[in-house]
Amino acid sequence: MNLTIVVPVYNLESHVAPMLDSLLHQSEKQYEVIIVDDGSTDQTYNTINAFLTVHPSLQCRILRTDNHGVSAARNKGLYAASGKYVMFLDGDDYVSTDLVQTLQTNVTDREPDIICWGYNLVREDQSTIVSFTSNLNHISGIQALEKIFVEKSLRIWTGSIAYKRDFLLKHEIQYTEQCINGEDQEFIYKALSRASKVTSLPEVLSFYLQRGSSISNSYNVKKFDVVDAFKRVDAYFRTHFSGELEPISDLLLNREMTENYFFNLNTCLSNTQGVRIQKLLQDIDQTYPKLTQEMHGIMKHYNGTDKKLSFQIKAFLFSPGLYQRFIHWDRSIVHLKSRIKTVLKVQANS
C-alpha cells in the first residue's frame, strides 16, 4: 500500500508520546511518517528526536519550518510524502496499532481515491467519550457527502481518512493556509466531491484527543474562520459541478453553518470567566465585519432537528444576554449532574 502519515506539531512536548508510540507499534510496516515541526518554541523537536534516536526502526522524517500554521504544515508534508496514500494526524492524537494493516487489506483490490474509518473522541486518560462508526460501504464521493449531510450516517474527521496522493495533486486540493478552523472540513468536502471511489470501514482506527487547552475549548475569535471555509466549499461545488451538489451546499450554508456558529459561541463563553457576549460579538464584528448580521438571517431559517439549539437560536435572536444566561445555566446543570454521578459512584464503591 505504502502510506505516508503527515503529523504537524506545534509546542506539544508533553502530548506527543501516545502518537509516537501508536505509530511505532504498527503491525504492518509499509508506511512512513513525516512530522512537520511548525516553529515550536518548546522542547517538541528535541522530544521527538530523542524518541526516534531510541527507536530508529520508525521510518520518520522531521521537517522544521517557521511558524506558518497547521494548514501550511500539512501542505508541506503532503508535497514531501512518497506514499501512494497520505493521511493527516495531529500531534496529540493517536491511532490503532492495526491502522496500516487494515488500510492495506482494504485498498489492495479496489484502490479507492479515499478510504475512511471509525474514530473515538477520547479524554486525556484515553477513556472514550463517544465513538463514531459507520457500515462498510463502497460508494462515490458524492454519495459519501449525502451520507454526511442528508442521512447523517457518516462522520469523518481529519485523522480518520486517507487519500490517494496523486488524486489530491491532480485536483490541486490542499489546505487553505492562515485558516485556523474549518480548514479540515473544507479539505475533506472538496476531496470527496472529486472522488470516484470511496471506501468507508466500520473499524475504529484512530483516536481524537479532547484537550481542555485546545482551540475548540478556548476564547479565540478566529474560530469563526469556519464561516469562510464553508463559503469556499460552496464556491468550489458551484464552480466544478452544475447544480448536482446544490442540496449539499444548501445544508452546508444553513444548518451546518448555524450549528458551527453556535458551537463556537458556546465554547468561547462557556470556558472563559467574566467575558460578556456583547464583548465577544464586538470582537467577531471587528474581525469579520457584518458576520453577525449575516448569521441572523441564516438563523431564522434553521431547519435542523436539534431542539436545544433551536431554543438557543430563539433566545439569541431575542436577546444575546438571555442566550448567555441560558448556556451558563445549562453548564451549571451539567456540572451538578457530574458531581452527583461522582458521589454516587464513590458511595457504591465504598
Query: 71: domain CATH number?
Result: 3.90.550.10
pLDDT band at 309; cut points 50, 70, 90: confident
- Cα separation, 162 vs 117, in Å, equals 9
- Nearest alpha-carbon partner for 125 in 43, 48, 8, 207: 207
Whether 126 and 203 map to the same domain: the answer is: yes
pLDDT, residue 348, reads 66
Whether 159 and 228 map to the same domain: the answer is: no
pTM of the model: 0.92
The answer to whether position 350 is within a domain reads: no
Quote the cell numbers at residue 41: 518554541
- Identify the helix (H) or strand (E) that includes residue 164: strand 161-164
Show the CA angle centred on residue 315, arms to residues 320 and 155, nearest 5°.
Answer: 100
pLDDT, residue 271, reads 62
Domain end, chosen from 211, 243, 272, is at 211
pLDDT, residue 346, reads 63
Q: Which residues contact 338 (CB under 8 A, 6 or more apart)?
A: none
Whether 26 and 108 map to the same domain: the answer is: yes
Q: Which amino acid is at 81?
A: A
The answer to whether position 151 is within a domain reads: yes
Whether 150 and 267 map to the same domain: the answer is: no
Q: How many Å separate Cα 30 from the centre of its chain?
A: 26
Whether 155 and 180 map to the same domain: the answer is: yes
Q: Residues 54-73: pLDDT tens digits?
A: 999 999 999 999 999 999 99
The phi and psi torsions of 121 (rounded to 5 degrees) equal -80, 130
Quote the cell numbers at residue 189: 468536502
- Nearest alpha-carbon partner for 78 in 8, 128, 151: 8
Range with the poorest average pLDDT among 68-82, 139-153, 255-269, 333-347: 333-347
DSSP conformation letters of 90-151: -TT-EE-TTHHHHHHHHHTTT--SEEEEEEEEE-TT--EEEEE----EEE-HHHHHHIIIII
Whether 266 and 282 map to the same domain: the answer is: yes
- Identify the helix (H) or strand (E) that includes residue 63: strand 60-65
Domain end, chosen from 181, 211, 241, is at 211
The answer to whether position 30 is within a domain reads: yes
**At how many degrees (to 10) do helices 307-318 and 320-349 cross?**
140
pLDDT band at 219; cut points 50, 70, 90: confident
- Nearest alpha-carbon partner for 93 in 15, 157, 41: 15
Whether 201 and 260 map to the same domain: the answer is: no
Residue 326's domain spans which residues? Answer: 217-342
Residue-level length of the chain? 350
Whether 281 and 322 map to the same domain: the answer is: yes
- Cα separation, 5 vs 34, in Å, equals 6
Q: Residues 86-131: pLDDT tens digits?
A: 999 999 999 999 999 999 999 988 899 999 999 999 999 999 999 9
Domain end, chosen from 163, 180, 211, is at 211
Whether 27 and 7 map to the same domain: the answer is: yes
The answer to whether position 349 is within a domain reads: no
pLDDT band at 8; cut points 50, 70, 90: very high
Average pLDDT of the residues in 269-281: 81
Number of domains in the chain: 2
- Cα separation, 319 vs 317, in Å, equals 6
SS3 label, residue 289: coil
Q: Rounded to the nearest 10 degrees, how much is the dihedral formed by the CA atoms of 297, 300, 301, 306?
A: 130
Whether 184 and 280 map to the same domain: the answer is: no
- The span from the first CA to the last CA of the chain, in angstroms, equals 52
The answer to whether position 74 is within a domain reads: yes
Whether 89 and 142 map to the same domain: the answer is: yes
The answer to whether position 150 is within a domain reads: yes
Quote the cell numbers at residue 175: 489546505
The answer to whether position 347 is within a domain reads: no
Q: Which amino acid is at 11?
A: N
Which residue in this structure is represented by grid cell 464583548? 279
Show the CA angle centred on residue 247, arms to residues 243 and 253, nearest 5°.
Answer: 110
The answer to whether position 348 is within a domain reads: no
Whether 162 and 222 map to the same domain: the answer is: no
